[in-house]
Chain A
């Protein structure tokens, strides 16, 4: 694995070859390993190591991009050639200027234990989960992954940034004869993964979720676990919290308007220690905290350089690799905690549903934040303040904004979760007055 300085050196040597105009070079080294298990057996265990070099050239108002994945000695040259070939055919005047250094810094999620984790280490942790399942005559399924990524960005504007981050994740389903449970844990530090806690949680959920019976679809009061809440927040980021979505009139966000409950505050904060902090975006711009929803009121969206120029503001450092047609993305969302212990939420529901997780959530109408999906691995009926029985999975079709406008309580506990798009999200449990299940 190369360190930050070595990748910066590769980038700078590439920059030195640029004869005309401006250039940005991103060099990424990644080493990831994953141990996957099913039926209490490890059935897939893999290791991957790669580097990619992405060159963006800007000259005469034209932008070109070349990307080469590989450690080959000629990788830089091939990326440069591809970028120039690409630049030649783009049309003026769409070039977005390369950002200048902003001098800021910030924390990085890194732990040496994760970078050093071995297949034997991973198999050892997996054995804890499979052992807990076997002890109850259940079967465990899941994946334990470790990733170490070094990202370096240099540009002809003098920008020079690099950071190495780590991520460890354990995602588990445990299944019995007729039902299952789900739990996950994520951390920058492999050694800090709460594997025993996960095993207890997933086995407990599985054992309570046996022989579920059907329940009529309809509107229910719900308590959503952080796994489910994360899906909703991530979809808001995709369809609404982007400056480009707002500029293109396809976002629900109306700055200054109250659309959600006063108890709802959501921010993106790449410096928060709980959500895999990382100091800069794919343009090398420092990622600053952005308040997205402030006490229910639309407070802001995230920017990259092109969208910031259009609105006459400064980029918030949320760029994907440029150029792109997706726009910026909030990838470190934090929802403010409430004051209620999550178990007390259940006690306050006279009749409703507890949802462990959602599955296959898709946008039905992005402007209305309407999503559909299924509940999975743990949907329970709440009656008179107690979880009374598991119920069969249900399909929901629900506006996220409407749900967050109807928040009754927010838990004081929160969990770091990874969304389907691998965004880190710090989510609480939510009690929502009405949630629509359609089948």
Chain B
């Protein structure tokens, strides 16, 4: 990999680049799916290539190729320079990077057991046992469970002298049970929706999930939802489980603190942000119970690494400190625009994509309460579990989320299961209404494996530590 990057950087420099960096990436993915008792797919993917990013005449250029022979790598570097030159014809303002020390080092995801050393037979067996546990329930029309394992070897080098090698390993798994009747379809997922729960860890993460041991309960809940009463409507107290809290953090704190959005770089696609720089350090984002961090040092999140994709070291920074908006996710270019240093949030979806600002592990820090205490001190409300739908405006203010199920709380007691709950609000109002976050015992590192951003579109794996949390005076209703 080092020979490839040296060749790319030399070619870029010779063609006129004043800055260049190069990422050589080899990615292997195993994906196994069992559906309705059959192994629906065992897919094995391999992917290798190089991406070269340059600055020429004050403009960026990027080119990538999946051929690692010297001629192809040099051609990609020269093409990146050609692209930058073409862009400089339009641009009036030169790119400026915040300083960052050129680092060298090696990082490897810590794990107990390499998931790629576990046989496919054992993985299939686990999924078939999970499926079997759901198979005897009436009305369960679709049973689906899956595993995914990722190993990515990343080599980064820059013309400033950075030289970094990382091996990132991810393990994920989950199950869905879908029950149907003549007029209703209900899905329950475990431990998270959208297919799986995934973290930077080894096979031990899959064993800890105990998919077979949870399958029947989840399928039973899907069946029960078919005839459950609709979620009550009104303004009431809402308690989110950790998985829904994680998505709420993702959409309403992670995205609006991306500094490229704030500066308009994503205005044509992902959108902008209500968290403009003039609000930094003064805006009351949430209540005193709300502290959010971007922490790429915190294992085992999907945003845990040694260095980001422009060579900035992993770090922890405050985004919201006891309710006060205090920081952004940034890159060298965007940080320079507001007179700061990058806090290491540049990430790319593989070798073929340009790094852009992405969430690392954006966490809701644990509080001091507990789910039990929150329920016991709620007169009327709903406890909502597992995301089903999510939508938020392009400035990240107006949101509406739906969850797979809800539990009505009456006089401090979790009473009946309710179906099709949705809740909505405005981001700052919502987080200001937060009056409790559960403590470390109920705090989990969760993640999102389908975070879309950028043109061309990039899908990123990001982490979110979260715990159950409670909000007052929230608009709740059933979807009709």
Q: Footprint of B on A, CB under 8 Å?
A: 32-51, 64-72, 78, 82-83, 85-91, 94, 118-120, 122-123, 126-127, 130, 139, 141-143, 145, 171-173, 175, 180, 248-250, 323-325, 359-368, 370, 372-374, 376, 393, 395, 397, 438-439
Whether A42 contacts B33 in the complex (CB less than 8 A), given A94-B40, A367-B185, comes out as no
> Which residue from A38, A67, A364, A372 sits with its C-beta under 8 Å from B267?
A38
Chain B residues lying within 8 Å of A88, measured Cβ to Cβ, are 120
Can you sample 24 A-B contacts with CB below 8 Å?
Answer: A38-B268, A41-B91, A46-B62, A46-B456, A49-B65, A49-B76, A50-B49, A50-B64, A50-B66, A51-B66, A65-B41, A67-B46, A69-B45, A70-B47, A90-B41, A172-B268, A180-B267, A249-B141, A250-B178, A323-B41, A361-B391, A362-B391, A364-B479, A367-B183
Q: Across the interface, do B268 and A50 meet the contact criterion of CB distance under 8 Å? A: no
Chain A residues lying within 8 Å of B47, measured Cβ to Cβ, are 68-70
Q: Across the interface, do A374 and B394 meet the contact criterion of CB distance under 8 Å? A: yes
Q: Which of B81-89, B96-104, B314-322 contacts A (4 or more CB under 8 A)?
A: B81-89
Convert B300-326 into 0s and 1s, putting 1 for each residue whose CB lies closer than 8 angstroms to a CB of A: 000000000000000000000000000
Identify the 6 closest CB pairs spanning chains A and B, nearest first: A119-B86, A82-B44, A42-B87, A86-B42, A141-B268, A69-B47
Q: Across the interface, do A171 and B268 meet the contact criterion of CB distance under 8 Å? A: yes
Q: B129 in the interface, Cβ–Cβ < 8 Å?
A: no
Q: Across the interface, do B390 and A362 meet the contact criterion of CB distance under 8 Å? A: yes
Q: For A64, give the chain B residue with the smallest CB separation.
A: B42
Chain A residues lying within 8 Å of B142, measured Cβ to Cβ, are 248, 250
Most chain B CB atoms below 10 A, which of A40, A49, A145, A324: A49
> Which residue from A40, A143, A324, A439 sits with its C-beta under 8 Å from B269?
A143
Q: Across the interface, do B479 and A370 meet the contact criterion of CB distance under 8 Å? A: yes
Q: How far, in angstroms, from A91 to B86 measured CA to CA in the complex? A: 54
Q: B275 in the interface, Cβ–Cβ < 8 Å?
A: no
Q: How far, in angstroms, from A421 to B459 measured CA to CA in the complex? A: 13
Chain A residues lying within 8 Å of B266, measured Cβ to Cβ, are 38
Q: Across the interface, do B393 and A65 meet the contact criterion of CB distance under 8 Å? A: no
> Which residue from B66, B86, B144, B265 sits with its C-beta under 8 Å from A49?
B66
A325-B41, A362-B391 are known contacts; what are 12 more A-B pairs with Cβ within 8 Å?
A44-B354, A45-B59, A46-B62, A47-B79, A69-B66, A118-B86, A123-B86, A172-B268, A250-B180, A367-B184, A374-B391, A438-B424
Q: B220 in the interface, Cβ–Cβ < 8 Å?
A: no
Q: Across the interface, do B391 and A372 meet the contact criterion of CB distance under 8 Å? A: yes
Whether A45 contacts B39 in the complex (CB less than 8 A), given A141-B268, A142-B268, comes out as no
Convert B181-208 into 0s and 1s, putting 1 for each residue whose CB lies closer than 8 angstroms to a CB of A: 0011100000000000000000000000
Chain A residues lying within 8 Å of B83, measured Cβ to Cβ, are 33, 35, 45-47, 119
Q: How far, in angstroms, from A368 to B230 measured CA to CA in the complex? A: 15
Q: Across the interface, do B393 and A359 meet the contact criterion of CB distance under 8 Å? A: yes
Q: How far, in angstroms, from A396 to B266 measured CA to CA in the complex? A: 23
Q: Across the interface, do A395 and B393 meet the contact criterion of CB distance under 8 Å? A: yes
Chain A residues lying within 8 Å of B422, measured Cβ to Cβ, are 364, 372, 397
Chain A residues lying within 8 Å of B45, measured Cβ to Cβ, are 67-69
Whether A45 contacts B48 in the complex (CB less than 8 A), given A89-B42, A372-B400, comes out as no
Convert B96-138 into 0s and 1s, putting 1 for each residue whose CB lies closer than 8 angstroms to a CB of A: 0000000000000000000000001101100010000000000
Chain B residues lying within 8 Å of A120, measured Cβ to Cβ, are 86, 89
Q: Across the interface, do A66 and B185 meet the contact criterion of CB distance under 8 Å? A: no
> Which residue from A68, A89, A123, A364 sits with its C-beta under 8 Å from B90?
A123
A156: min CB distance to chain B, Å: 20
Whether A395 contacts B400 in the complex (CB less than 8 A), given A85-B120, A325-B40, comes out as yes
B263: min CB distance to chain A, Å: 8
Q: B402 in the interface, Cβ–Cβ < 8 Å?
A: yes
Q: For B33, give the chain A residue with the smallest CB separation.
A: A325
Most chain A CB atoms below 10 A, which of B65, B354, B456: B456
Q: B63 in the interface, Cβ–Cβ < 8 Å?
A: yes
Chain B residues lying within 8 Å of A33, measured Cβ to Cβ, are 83
Q: How far, in angstroms, from A323 to B65 measured CA to CA in the complex? A: 28
Q: Across the interface, do A372 and B389 meet the contact criterion of CB distance under 8 Å? A: yes
Q: Across the interface, do B44 and A67 meet the contact criterion of CB distance under 8 Å? A: yes
A378: min CB distance to chain B, Å: 13
> Which residue from A35, A69, A368 sits with its C-beta under 8 Å from B48?
A69
> Which residue from A47, A141, A397 sits with its C-beta under 8 Å from B63?
A47
Q: Across the interface, do A45 and B84 meet the contact criterion of CB distance under 8 Å? A: yes
Within 8 A of A (CB), among B387-403: 388-394, 398, 400, 402
Q: How far, in angstroms, from A91 to B120 measured CA to CA in the complex? A: 12
Q: For B52, give the chain A residue with the smallest CB separation.
A: A47
Chain A residues lying within 8 Å of B90, measured Cβ to Cβ, are 37, 40-42, 123, 126-127, 130
B234: min CB distance to chain A, Å: 15
Q: B80 in the interface, Cβ–Cβ < 8 Å?
A: yes
Q: Across the interface, do B393 and A360 meet the contact criterion of CB distance under 8 Å? A: yes
A124: min CB distance to chain B, Å: 8
Chain A residues lying within 8 Å of B128, measured Cβ to Cβ, are 91
Chain B residues lying within 8 Å of A250, measured Cβ to Cβ, are 141-142, 178, 180, 185
Whether A141 contacts B264 in the complex (CB less than 8 A), given A249-B180, A362-B391, A376-B394, comes out as yes
Q: How far, in angstroms, from A130 to B455 measured CA to CA in the complex? A: 18
Chain A residues lying within 8 Å of B48, measured Cβ to Cβ, are 69-70, 72
Q: How far, in angstroms, from A46 to B65 measured CA to CA in the complex? A: 11
Q: Across the interface, do B87 and A123 meet the contact criterion of CB distance under 8 Å? A: yes
Chain B residues lying within 8 Å of A370, measured Cβ to Cβ, are 479-480
